[in-house]
A and B are shown apart, each in its own frame.
Chain A
Amino acid sequence: MKRSLIAATALVAFSTASFAQDVAQKDSKWFTDALAKIQEMSIRQPITAKAKNVILFTADGNGVGTNYATRLFVGQQKGGLGEEYVLPYEQFPNLALVKTYNTNAQTPDSAPTASAMNTGVKSKFSTINVSENAVASDCSTLAGNELTTFAELMEKAGKSVGVISTARITHATPAAVYVNTVDRDWEDNTGIPEDCAQKDIADQLAEAMKSGRVDVAMGGGRRHFFPTDVTDEEGKGGKRTDGRNLIEELKGSGAQYAWDEESFKALTTGNNAPIIGLFESSHMKYEHDRTGEPSIAEMTEAAIKAMAGNENGYYLVVEAGRVDHANHDGNLHRTLTDGAAFAEAVALADQLTNDEDTLIIVTADHEHAIAFNGYCGRGSPITGLCYEIDDAGEKHLDTLNMADDGKPYTVAGFLNGPGAVLVKGEDEKFTAPEGRQTVTQEEATDPDYIQQAMIPLSSETHSGEDVAVYAKGPWAHLFDGTVEQNYIFHVMNHAVNAQ
């Protein structure tokens, strides 16, 4: 935050530097805004101090396309037309495009993508923090292929480590902070083959917290931490069949435990006790449906406050895990309300930290099969139908664009997924006898609407398209151009070790 004040002061001093040209449009706001941006950019100085803290924000499945939709959605929620809006992290000074493929997959999944960010190398689909020589789900290939994680390096450097997710805390992205596993699905002991010595993901988290490698962990996934014959605070059963109750083990070792909004608010910070928050049996609720559990911004604030007392600093990973899930469901409304909550968490973290000592990175692990139609007028609702362009004005006309089938269509759609236009008939054939479903603006902008899709698939897929990485703070300027995803680790590692 301080940094922008310095920049603003310098900007005033520089404003006389614009040279006299006779340009008819020189008084247009577009023109003067861009000139101001030139002045801001031309005096920008990189921060080359050593980073004390690193915060890595990932919105799962928030590629350039999904993020574009979030930008318009938040802008429209705030009363604007939407296109002009700038998300908090879009104001960050540094940006690169990220290639997200895995060593054996053009279309990535969240396990090796998170692994790339946490270890500095790419690996195979479905694996986390093991080298590309390991084979997915093959336990015998774990030994010798475990990779060193950024969290391990940070713990050795005396820093605190925190991990937050709105998905299960044992899900791929958060797990990459603390596990080595050949299979992302081994969230509790039930998935692990009998003769396999690898510890399950929940067990590895408990171990990391007991040993002091992880200090704060908050998210969903409670069921993976206790046995099948035990019911939790919300009356739901556990998944473990080894009889272990990792929550009780953690409490016994001095950890604070929270499971709902009330116990979350009762957490105390500054006493260095590890914090484990497990707010749902499975994933936490979508922001649209959230009740009785903290928001991603509230968890981020709690983690920062819990770890800020460490004079050596901290490494915090925050995942908005359900941007991805709503995309898989083809339900753009929940994708975007979770995206908006993610943006609020980033803004709050930025407010609570200092640009001079905290590197904040905002990225995604991969994109989805989302796509955008045209030609829509300014302000067409991003979850709704595409309006015609007003040739004389700015905002869209009130008439809808029609496809060749005489029906309107939404701005955004998916290339595949549950919203497929072709549906299974009684003869098992996929057809659309009456063509596409007709949809009204009211139906399309309903929070439960499923955007239309082309290829029928029960769950919409990821795509291999690029994601962006936005950054500010020490060595954020190392992000530029088009980079491999594993490069993110190297920027973090350079920033915390810079002399």
Chain B
Amino acid sequence: MDRRVFLTGLVCFAGVAPAEAGDETIRLRNFYNKDQSFSDYAVSMQGTRVAVSGFMAPPLKADSQFFVLTSRPMAVCPFCETSADWPDDILAVYTKRVFDVAPFNVPIVTHGTLELGTYKDPETGFVSRVRIVNAIYDRS
């Protein structure tokens, strides 16, 4: 799929749930209500393939199959402080393969299957509330 299609989808989305999964790019904020509970949209999309736009936070380690997608560039390395400094609206991304690291400030779109609910990664100890698994990403 052409990357420009995603960008267009992003602009048109404006908070309304898309009619069909996979055709449109959504934002991290669309997964949450104002009080940080999961939105109806997030609940309805559980277990389906989604495309989410955002930025790749500097990964925990090299040659990994895990990164964190943030809604805005992570200006400061969060591992230099503590996990508490992550923004509330992040997405844990488990990729299909070892991936190339994207610069923290280059917009990307990740595609994968949406999972909701608190999960602690046994390897890194990273706790996430929302994940996409079996994921790939494109620079948007």
On whether the beta carbons of B73 and A291 are closer than 8 Å, the reply is no
Per the 8 Å Cβ criterion, residues 35-83 of B in contact with A are: 35-36, 71-73, 75-77, 81-82
Do B103 and A460 have beta carbons less than 8 Å apart? no
Write the chain B residue with the least CB distance to A328.
B75
Whether B19 sits at the interface, judged by CB under 8 Å, is no
Instruction: Tell me if A236 is interfacial: C-beta within 8 Å of chain B.
Output: yes
Are B84 and A329 touching (Cβ within 8 A)?
no
Please report which residues of chain B, range 67-126, place their CB below 8 angstroms from some CB of chain A when the two chains form the complex. 71-73, 75-77, 81-82, 84-85, 88, 100, 103-106
Of B36, B75, B88, B100, the contact of A458 (CB 8 Å cutoff) = B75
Per the bound structure, the CA–CA distance linking A443 and B81 in Å amounts to 31
- Would B75 and A459 count as touching, CB distance under 8 A? yes
Report yes or no: B106 in contact with A329, Cβ–Cβ below 8 A.
no
Q: How many contacting A-B pairs (Cβ < 8 A)?
A: 56
A-B contact pairs, 6 of them (CB 8 A): A328-B76, A329-B75, A420-B105, A448-B27, A458-B105, A460-B75
Say whether A289 faces chain B, with CB atoms less than 8 Å apart: yes
Contact with B along A272-290 (1 / 0, CB 8 A): 0000000001100100010
Question: Contacts A424-B103, A450-B105: A282 and B84 contacting too (C-beta < 8 A)?
Answer: yes
Alpha-carbon distance between A420 and B104 when the two chains are bound, in angstroms: 11
CB neighbours of B72 from chain A (8 A): 329, 331, 448, 450
- The size of the chain B interface, using a CB distance under 8 A, is 22
B126: min CB distance to chain A, Å: 14
Interchain CB contact under 8 A, B34 and A291:
yes
Complex interface: chain A residues within 8 A of B29 (CB):
448
**Which residue of the partner chain B has the closest CB to A425?**
B103
How long is the Cα–Cα vector from A285 to B86 in the complex, in angstroms? 12
Indicate whether A418 sits within 8 Å of B73 (C-beta atoms), given known contacts A423-B105, A440-B11. yes
Please indicate which of the listed interface residues B71, B85, B103, B104 has the most CB atoms of chain A within 10 Å of its own CB: B103
Whether A281 contacts B84 by the Cβ 8 Å rule is: yes
Tell me which residues from 393 to 442 in chain A have a Cβ below 8 Å from any Cβ of chain B. Answer: 417-420, 423-424, 426, 440, 442
Chain B minimum-CB-distance residue to A286: B87
Task: Decide yes or no whether A122 CB sits under 8 A from chain B.
Answer: no
Contact A282 B75 (CB under 8 A): no
Contact present for B85 and A282 (CB under 8 Å): yes
Query: Inside 8 A of B103's CB, which chain A residues have their CB?
Result: 423-424
Question: In the complex, which residues of chain B have a beta carbon less than 8 angstroms from the beta carbon of A213?
Answer: none
B-chain residues with CB within 8 Å of residue A443 when the two chains form the complex = 11
A239 near B73 (CB under 8 angstroms)?
no
Interchain CB contact under 8 A, A423 and B73: no
Instruction: Say if the beta carbon of A159 comes within 8 Å of chain B.
Output: no
Q: Specify the chain A residue showing the minimal Cβ separation from B81.
A: A282
Contacts of A281 in B (CB 8 A): 84
Closest CB in chain A relative to B12 CB, distance in Å: 10
CA distance A460 to B75 in the complex (A): 8
Chain B residues near A460 (CB-CB < 8 A): 75
A418-B104, A458-B105, A459-B75 given. 18 additional CB < 8 A pairs?
A237-B84, A281-B84, A285-B88, A289-B88, A291-B36, A330-B73, A330-B75, A331-B72, A419-B105, A420-B105, A423-B105, A424-B103, A442-B11, A443-B11, A448-B27, A450-B72, A458-B75, A458-B77
How far, in Å, is B6 (CB) from chain A's closest CB?
A: 13
* Contact in complex: B76, A236 (CB < 8 Å): no
A171 to chain B, nearest CB (A): 12
